[in-house]
Structure formats: C-alpha cells, structure tokens
Amino acid sequence: MIGIEIDIPQRYRMAFDRRNVQAVLRSAGAEIAAVARRKVRQSVGSGRLYYGARKGSHRASLPGQPPTSWTGELANSIKVRPLKSGDGVLIRDAAFYALFLEAGARGGTGGAKRGVRGRRNAVQRRKGGNRVLAPRPFLSAAAAERSASIGPRVQEAIMKDVKFQRVAAGAKT
C-alpha cells in the first residue's frame, strides 16, 4: 500500500480539484496491474513439474518468485476499479486461488485414495493437513516495484491544484 500524509494547521482548510488526482490514481492502478500481469505471464518456472489431464505439463515457480501461468486465468483476472469516494483505486485478482499464491497457504491432504495412503490422508484431514504453499508474490511485488514512481506523481497532482483557505475563528470544518 502506498500512502501520503500531509499535515495542515487547523486554521486552514485544503481544497483541490479531485479529478487530476483520480486520473493519476487510475493510471497508477492500471500500471501496477499491467506489471503484475507481466510478472505472471513472463515467469519461467524452475520448480516442480506437474502433468494435467488435457493441459499438458506445467513447471511451477519456486517460492518467492511470481507464479507461472498455465491457463492464463490468474493474469486475466487482475482488475482495477476506482473507489466510489474517488480517493483511491482497488487492484484485485478475482481468481479464487490468487490470495493463496500471494500470501501462501497451509493445509490440504491430497486425494482420499483407498489403502494405506487413504488412511494416512484421513488422519491428516483430522489434524488439519500438512501441506504448505510458500508465498509467490506478484501483486505486492508489482506495487513495490512501481511505488517509487507513483508516489511523486500523486503528490504532484495534489499540489498542482491545491489551495489553502483560511478558516474563520470558531467556524466548523
């Protein structure tokens, strides 16, 4: 998350045109989303090799690297939406597993096969699972990568049209 904090004395009120700030925030959100999509689409897996029924093979990414694309769903589901208040943008990935990849996950036991493995999996299910998925950040990495250029642009958009109005003593703000 990128944050800017401005302290204004109480006897002044700040007024500025929000349209410029909203335009900069929309373009910043689109820029972060584009970087995140690029990270996922261009990631080259160097981890475990998986085989799909109809999709062929897939080499996963290592922990700490952006996830590799297999079907394209993860990259295609990254959306940018301006907040109703106009004070920011929401960048989110609508794929249900995006947060598992971004933050990591714990649990799960695999298939419930019969025999010894099936009994072992049943015990693991009762314990809460033993699988661990290490984080593979892509959205937070994209935001961190672009924050150095976005912060000054937002600050410039605010300062471009800002006007400080003196508030009369005793007036409510």
User: Tell me: the pLDDT tens digits for 136-161?
Assistant: 999 999 999 998 888 888 888 877 87
Arithmetic mean of pLDDT, 123-128: 54
4 — pLDDT class (breaks 50, 70, 90): low
User: Tell me: the pLDDT tens digits for 78-124?
Assistant: 999 988 887 789 998 999 989 988 998 887 655 555 545 555 555 55
pLDDT greater at residue 149 or residue 51: 149
Q: What is the mean pLDDT of the chain?
A: 80
Q: Which residues contact 29 (CB under 8 A, 6 or more apart)?
A: 80, 82, 89, 90, 91
The full set of domain ranges for the chain reads: 14-145+157-165
Q: What is the pLDDT of residue 112?
A: 53
Q: Is the pLDDT of residue 168 over 60?
A: yes
**pTM (predicted TM-score):** 0.72
Residue 164 near residue 14 (C-beta atoms within 8 A): yes
